[in-house]
Amino acid sequence: MADDFSERYGDLLTGSYDCVDRIVLKAYFPLACRPGGFRCWWRRLHGGSDAQLDDTRLMRMGGRFARRVKAWGAASGVPVIYRKAGQRKHRIAEEYLATHEVGTGVFLVLAAKAPAPVWKVKRSPAGVITSLEKRAEYVNHYSFHIMDPDWGHVTIKMSGHPPFGAQIMLNGHEYVACQRARREYPSPRTATASPRSPTRRAWPGAQMPCRNMRL
């Protein structure tokens, strides 16, 4: 069943398609999401001891992550750009793609502050850990923009502070465009998509993965 827009301008369209608009997967480290598990993870990294577990060293771990991302970007020729919170990162990446030729893999890293869970360590006067408190604070997040042969423009957004939660963002329209590129079909970018029926019919030969995905 066509939507009102497609019916009105049907004579001007060469085709139509329907697909999932966005798929967002949440990635996290289950062991480090609870106080006891976080201490176990820290001990594995530090010879079985959490004697050095404190807020300062957790911040230093985030700092090392940031420096390594910047060093990798400089060595690989991938721009690492810091932006203000609230800016549309995906739009910045689209503008970058419009003016640069990119290959498969990471082509841009955008960093900005956003809220994320972080652990705060409390110790007694004797130096014994009394509690680990999870708080939401603004920390740097790194959006790795990737060109994938099957999914097109993919984004992995990762917190730069332990426990390093992440989101994987996929675009259904990019998926259809990539599948179309392997076949002799009109470009889906010249057609219209109905948001009311996300998986009714994909462009011929393009198998859409799912309606919803929850992990």
Return the minimum-mean-pLDDT range out of 86-90, 95-99, 115-119, 180-184: 180-184
Give 76's pLDDT tier (boundaries 50, 70, 90): very high
**Predicted confidence (pLDDT) per residue in 139-151, tens digit:** 999 999 999 998 9
- What is the CA angle 69-71-77, rounded to 5? 95
8-state DSSP, 211: S
Give 88's pLDDT tier (boundaries 50, 70, 90): confident
- Span 8-26, average pLDDT: 83
* Contact assessment for residue 85 and residue 112, using Cβ atoms and an 8 Å cutoff: yes
Nearest to 102 by CA among 167, 143, 152: 152
Based on the number of CB atoms within 10 Å of its own CB, is 83 exposed (0-12), middle (13-18) or buried (19 or more)? middle
What is the spatial order of strands in the sheet that 80-82 belongs to?
A: 22-27, 166-171, 152-159, 129-148, 105-123, 80-82
CA gap 51, 38 in Å, rounded = 14
Q: What is the 3-state secondary structure (H, E, C) of 26-85?
A: EECCHHHHCHHHHHHHHHHHCCCCCCCCCHHHHHHHHHHHHHHHHHHHHHHCCCEEECCC
Give 209's pLDDT tier (boundaries 50, 70, 90): very low
Instruction: Judge if pTM exceeds 0.85.
Output: no
Higher pLDDT, 44 or 13: 44
Nearest to 144 by CA among 74, 62, 80: 80
CA gap 85, 105 in Å, rounded = 25
* Cα distances (Å, whole numbers) of residue 52 to 66, 67, 125, 128, 133: 21, 21, 15, 11, 17
Give the per-residue pLDDT at 180: 81
